[in-house]
Amino acid sequence: MSKESSAAIYLLGLATFVTFLSAQLTQPILPVLADELGAGGLDIAALSGAHFIVLGLFEVFTGALADKYGKRRMISLGAFIAAVSSVLCVWALSWKQLLALRVIGALADAIVGPALLALVAEVGGQARGRAMGIFRSCQGFAFVLGPVAGGILAYSFSLHTPFFIDFGLTILGISFFLFLVPETEKGNNMDRSSVSESLRVIRREPRLLKAAFLGFTEIFAFSSLSSFIPALAIEIGLSGMEIALFLTVETIVFSLTSAFIGSLSDNVGRKPVAIAGLVYSSLNLVAFFFAAQDFFQTLFLMALYGVGASSVFLMSSTMAADILPKEGRAMLFGTFDALMDLGLVVGPSACFAFLAVTGLSIRYSFLLMAVPSLAAIVVIFKTRETKA
């Protein structure tokens, strides 16, 4: 890899970190603000739920904008809209206004997501594994540090401070994207700008469907784990702070290992890394059923889960980047991401339904979480390597 390409990857990682860090500052503050505005328990839950639903619905369509007008432009536009909707929360007069602003923010994130993934694939060139790993690491560290920094700012100054800092950091991140990160492929008016055409492209390439299923299994497991680990923790007598530590340590390990795993896949191939990650994750999830008996055991298992999660999730995106054509790549990435993100809904829903029908304890949900990963081992084993 040339020095110019390597520098571009790290600049993209820096821009990603700043932009995602700013967005995460307000996450622990929004429920408190909603409560002050008279929201009930379900109303507060809707603030998070609406974001995932809107993001999943619209990122299928928004990738076409990046293909037509340019990836950096759409990343900058989406980030700016998100920042404005965030700072306007300061002046919200009701929780419903807050919800509406969150929906606008989710639409903005739907604009950013496919364009950013396509830009990572473009900047990475032949070292896409490394580029995707650095990108996911920077994203992960932002998810770790952002809520902590937001809580400190709110506690030290005022509840509204994180929203203003969010706006300022976003402008800084936009500046990085516009002036530091290169974009060698121009926007185009490709006819691959419809969802139906994107789905046809993905369907014609079996490896893309298999890569999407690979990502689906990880999102299925992660969303289910995030839903049921708190319940398991309460069952074994742990506190809210200990629950927060479980989720934080997983994200830290995910972030620390992503760059290494991405570089490893550039050397040994995506397929062996994906298979190893699936085997590891399946065993890890089953271990929760048997071994998560106290705080330290559960914390250790969550840390181990971060390694498998980074292997599987990263290889899914990297395999897609290897296969997707340059023309219409952002639109295709949006559709690909939407297929993976079905796991956000299917995972927790399947676990809830399974426990409700069988009457089994919460621990049995961890066995169900491993089932898609076990199926994916067979699928990926039969898949041809995507790395050229």
Dihedral pair phi/psi, residue 296, rounded to 5°: -70, -40
- Domains defined along the chain, listed by start: 3-178 (1.20.1250.20), 195-381 (1.20.1250.20)
Residue with tokens 């742990």: 238
Rounded percentage of the chain residues whose pLDDT exceeds 70: 90
The pLDDT value given to residue 222? 86
Looking at mean pLDDT, say which of 93-97, 126-130, 197-201 comes out highest.
93-97
User: pLDDT tens digits for 225-238?
Assistant: 877 887 788 788 87
CB atoms within 10 A of CB 374: 16
- 319 Cβ neighbours under 8 A, 6+ residues apart: 207, 211, 214, 270, 274, 386
Tokens representing 63 are: 């990738």
> 344, 56 in Cβ contact below 8 A?
yes
> 273, 315 in Cβ contact below 8 A?
yes
Q: Which residue has the higher pLDDT, 130 or 164?
A: 164
The pLDDT value given to residue 334? 75
Query: Is pLDDT at 190 greater than 70 in this prediction?
Result: no
> 15, 176 in Cβ contact below 8 A?
yes
The pLDDT value given to residue 371? 96
User: pLDDT tens digits for 4-36?
Assistant: 667 778 888 888 889 888 888 887 788 778 888
> 137, 13 in Cβ contact below 8 A?
yes
The pLDDT value given to residue 345? 74
> 279, 377 in Cβ contact below 8 A?
yes
> 71, 119 in Cβ contact below 8 A?
yes
3 state SS of 46: helix
Separation of first and last alpha carbons in the chain: 15
338 band by pLDDT with thresholds 50, 70 and 90: confident
As a whole number, mean pLDDT of residues 348-374 equals 90
Query: Is pLDDT at 276 greater than 70 in this prediction?
Result: yes
**CA distance linking residue 215 with residue 379, whole number of Å:** 12
Q: Which of 52, 48, 45 is nearest to 338 (CA)?
A: 52
Q: Which of 125, 91, 112 is nearest to 4 (CA)?
A: 125
What is the average pLDDT score of the chain? 84
Note if the pTM is more than 0.85.
Answer: no
As a whole number, mean pLDDT of residues 172-177 equals 90
